[in-house]
Amino acid sequence: MNSSDKPSNWYRGQGHWADVPAENWLNWKWQLKNRITKVEQLEQYLELTPDEKAACYFSNQKLALAITPYFFNLIDVNDPNCPIRRQIIPHGGEMKTAPEELLDPVGEDGDMPVKGLVHRYPDRVLFLVTDRCASYCRYCTRSRLVSNAQDYNFHPEFESGLKYIEEHPEVRDVLLSGGDPLLLSNKKLDYLLGRLKAIPHVEFVRIGSRIPIFLPQRIDEDLCEIFKKHGPIWMSIHVNHPRECTQELYQATERLSFSGVPLGNQSVLLKGVNDDPDVMKSLVHRLLMMRVRPYYLYQCDLITGSRHLRADVRKGIEIIQHLRGHTTGYAVPQFVIDAPGGGGKVPINPDYVEEITDDEVIMRNFEGRQYRYPLVAGRKAVNIDAAPTPEPLLV
Ligand code: SF4
């Protein structure tokens, strides 16, 4: 992909489902009803490896198999290593639990004052409102509860969550997640957002959703009217690979933006998907064309059965180095590790600061050239590479 990578050239269409009437294809309920959920359906379109096939059968005990027809079309069915396939089709690695892996890798269950509401940071809460998604990502941090394959039996408790927020005036920011909140009906979303807007100390609501990527048809006028009515609402979407940026996603993000919903993107660093600086650069450029600000690049959590998808942390640092200074600043996400056990998000940055003395900061820029920034009034700033002999202190 290059500078001529315009949205009008991105993927669009019905692919394997070319014979389906357009009104069905564009109907989000048709997409959900016609999801691929079984080995026999998958095998109509691609040849599963024995390893994938075994993992598909195992998925009923771990995390359900479900793929919308729209998203399935993005898979290159002739490539067993396709980056879309790796995210969504079960892999034998899911059947093994490595010693470092955890069922609740970021320790959410221990921070729930009421079921489904995580209150970890002082001024904000995470409100889990459903355990369902349009498709299931094989590396999902909440595999323990989404799709209910592990008998977690999560039942969203709107009223007790809302009551908790009403009674805690320090909560100024509510993040709705799950599962995917945009799978709730318009009626339920309207009710929930209306109740939150009526709480005087809640300043705004954030929504974490992969629906625009799995099911862009869901982002219709009626849904956007609800967002306009109850804003300010911020949304974090979840795109991992540039191929997920289709013309349909472009239109969905446009509808959201024009409804006053600022958009950020959270990618998960995944081995064989996006652990490549050039792939990530293409992705962040496409995101900006969709008015989406790359926000976080997450190191994959230590979820059970995810070792085959977890990339080396050093690769994430290399990607940020490849972006910082080499492309638009807006395009550079923050690379973070969500500290195992509940420590929260910790920024992991390339090290540009070489030394801080009492007098100065010695640093390298994106080209590796060294500079000094004075901490003492009167000292001249110096580009060390250009002037190897440090300037004396001025008096
Ligand atoms: S959409 Fe989000 S909650 Fe659902 S499976 Fe993917 S990562 Fe998990």
Is the minimum distance from the CB of 137 to ligand 1 under 6 angstroms?
yes
Given 345, 352, 364, 379, the catalytic residue: 345
Residue after which a domain boundary falls, among 39, 65, 94: 94
Q: What is the pLDDT of residue 1?
A: 54
Catalytic residue flag (residue 137): yes
**Domain of residue 36, residue span:** 7-94
**Ligand 1 contacts CB of residue 210 (under 6 A):** yes
Residue 369 located in a structural domain: yes
Measured from the CB, is residue 179 less than 6 Å from ligand 1?
Answer: yes
Residue 172 lies in a domain: no
In a domain, 108, yes or no: no
Q: Is position 233 within any domain? A: no
Q: How many domains in the chain?
A: 2
Q: Which of these three, 60, 94, 128, is where a domain ends?
A: 94
Q: What is the pLDDT along the chain (395 residues), one digit of tens a residue?
A: 555 799 999 999 999 999 999 999 999 999 999 999 999 999 999 999 999 999 999 999 999 999 999 999 999 999 999 999 999 999 999 999 999 999 999 988 888 999 999 999 999 999 999 999 999 999 999 999 999 888 888 888 899 999 999 999 999 999 999 999 999 999 999 999 999 999 999 999 999 999 999 999 999 999 999 999 999 999 999 999 999 999 999 999 999 999 999 999 999 999 999 999 999 999 999 999 999 999 999 999 999 999 999 999 999 999 999 999 999 999 999 999 999 988 899 999 999 999 999 999 999 999 999 999 999 887 777 776 655 544 544 43
Is 300 annotated as contributing to ligand binding?
no
The answer as to whether 27 is a domain residue is yes
What is the DSSP track for 343-389? TEEEE-----EEEE-SSEEEEE-TTS-EEEEESSTTPPPEETTT--S
User: 110 in a domain, yes or no?
Assistant: no
* Residue 26, domain member (yes or no): yes
Question: Nearest to residue 101, comparing CAs of 302, 242, 249?
Answer: 302
User: 133 CB less than 6 Å from ligand 1?
Assistant: yes
User: Is residue 181 a part of any domain in this protein?
Assistant: no
pTM: 0.94
Q: For this structure, is 345 an active site residue? A: yes
Give the number of the atom of ligand 1 that is nearest the alpha carbon of residue 214.
1
CA 142 to ligand 1 centroid distance, Å: 7
- 142 flagged as catalytic: yes
Q: How far is CA 51 from the centre of its chain?
A: 27
The CA 111 to ligand 1 mean position distance, Å, reads 20
Last residue of a domain, one of 74, 94, 114: 94
Is the C-beta atom of 138 inside 6 A of ligand 1? no
* pLDDT confidence of residue 162: 98
Identify the pLDDT of residue 387: 52
